[in-house]
Amino acid sequence: MKVYLDYAATTPVKKEVLEEMIPYFSEKFGNPSSIHSYGRESKKAIDVARDKVAKSLNAKSQEIYFTGGGSEADNWAIKGVAYALRNKGNHIITSKIEHHAVLHTCEYLEKEGFEVTYLDVDDNGLIDLQELKAAIKDNTILITIMYANNEIGTIQPIKEIAQIAKERSVLSHTDAVQAYGNIEMDVEELGVDLLSISAHKVYGPKGIGALYVKKAVKLHPLVHGGAQERRRRAGTENIPAIVGFGKAAEIAYEDLQQHNKHLMKLRDQLISELMVKIPYTKLNGHPTKRLPGNVNLSFEFIEGESLLLSLDMVGIAGSSGSACTSGSLDPSHVLMSIGLSHEIAHGSLRLTVGDFTTQEEIDYVIEKLPPIVDRLRQMSPLYEKVKGDTKNV
Ligand SMILES: *Cc1c(COP(=O)(O)O)cnc(C)c1O
């Protein structure tokens, strides 16, 4: 049996999405900037896709800019605001548990003379709104806090964060890549100025994403050269990907309730059964303010990498908190920020369910995982000492 439980890393392209993309590789190949019928056909396809993405966010079509993915959207939002508002101020506020596309961009800007505050999070991964308020200074230009965390699934109070920013005339951005397609999303209601999304996390193609930029927000262009994306991101558009993203966006919000119901049922089953069957297990992330498909567990006395390899041998694909940046031995910055010790962070496993996950697959994981954890623990000298006691931590 093969079981894919890494939907937070990427998702397969849905059949309906792929079908809409295919003609735009060959028959419908015109350059959207051309004025002839070939060009117009491609331009029309982009317009339709942009409308669909805009609709999924309750944004206006002119506020949607296609990018080469979520990382690019994050980079652009942060650098674009920083460079556009350089004369107004140089201070940016973010959190310690952001995706690297945000964290490394902020670190880069620090080298460029900007000042960045990295807010702490509590044990569940939530930022403190009072701390956020206190961090705002006269030179603060941007607050960028992720909507939902990719490792532990915790959902931040983005509406409140945007409100706090607005009261102090500071722009707000959110990396909504994980939240998109899992949470009802209305940019008007949220009140954010910028928001990043990516297609391949919602059953669309890789290498395409979008940045929502509220009307009148000043943003430095990303790529100079042409008139594409309202002169802010030059380059001939990736039309098949854009078309696929449009379709994926449409499907994602067609039946969000049903999607969430399916994911939450499987997620809750994994969490509750694994925690009962495996002693010394801790759930990471918020118990309720949590993405519908996210399970993140720490098993004491084992090493996440060996667990992943053992799971892979029985066909189960998950992800661990230890080598998020492959080649690095440091545990994930997210797990460290919620207060886990190095040892416990190293024994973490993220399983993320999606639209194609079945009950049979979940039953299979619940059957296979406990004996694997037990076998790995038998090799641990620390476990030897506490064996016999089956209290959960
Ligand atoms: C996947 C992800 C990204 C990066 O998106 P890409 O399209 O892969 O560049 C950014 N932020 C979060 C929270 C993500 O999960």
Per-residue pLDDT in tens (0 to 9) along the chain, 393 residues: 999 999 999 999 999 999 999 999 999 999 999 999 999 999 999 999 999 999 999 999 999 999 999 999 999 999 999 999 999 999 999 999 999 999 999 999 999 999 999 999 999 999 999 999 999 999 999 999 999 999 999 999 999 999 999 999 999 999 999 999 999 999 999 999 999 999 999 999 999 999 999 999 999 999 999 999 999 999 999 999 999 999 999 999 998 999 999 999 999 999 999 999 999 999 999 999 999 999 999 999 999 999 999 999 999 999 986 554 455 667 899 999 999 999 899 999 999 999 999 999 999 999 999 999 999 999 888 887 777 655 555
Q: Calculate how far, in angstroms, residue 98's C-alpha sits from the geometric centre of ligand 1.
A: 10
Q: Calculate how far, in angstroms, residue 72's C-alpha sits from the geometric centre of ligand 1.
A: 9
The single residue listed with the structure tokens 């569940």 is 124
Q: Which CATH number fits domain 15-252: 3.40.640.10, 3.40.50.2300, 3.40.50.720, 3.30.1330.40?
A: 3.40.640.10
Domain with CATH 3.40.640.10 in the chain: 15-252
Q: What is the largest CA-CA distance in the chain?
A: 76
Domain with CATH 3.90.1150.10 in the chain: 3-9+256-392
Cβ–ligand 1 distance for 209 under 6 Å, the answer yes
Nearest-angstrom CA–CA distance, 42 and 21: 12
List the catalytic residues: 324
Ligand 1 atom closest to residue 74's alpha carbon, by position in its atom list: 10
Q: Whose CA is nearest to atom 6 of ligand 1?
A: 70
Hey, what CATH topology would domain 3-9+256-392 get?
Answer: Aspartate Aminotransferase, domain 1 (3.90.1150)
Q: Whose CA is nearest to atom 12 of ligand 1?
A: 177
- Per the structure block, which two tokens stand in for 245? 């993203």
Cβ–ligand 1 distance for 350 under 6 Å, the answer no
Q: Calculate how far, in angstroms, residue 245's C-alpha sits from the geometric centre of ligand 1.
A: 15
Cβ–ligand 1 distance for 182 under 6 Å, the answer no
Mutation test of ligand 1: which of 94, 151, 178, 185 has the most ligand atoms closer than 8 Å to its C-beta? 178
Nearest-angstrom CA–CA distance, 134 and 132: 5
Ligand 1 atom closest to residue 148's alpha carbon, by position in its atom list: 13
Cβ–ligand 1 distance for 195 under 6 Å, the answer no
Cβ–ligand 1 distance for 75 under 6 Å, the answer no
Nearest-angstrom CA–CA distance, 297 and 285: 9
Contacts of 43-51 spanning 24+ positions with Cβ under 8 A: 45/239, 45/242, 45/243, 46/237, 46/239, 46/242, 46/243, 48/243, 48/246, 49/242, 49/243, 49/245, 49/246, 49/247, 49/249, 50/242, 50/246, 51/246
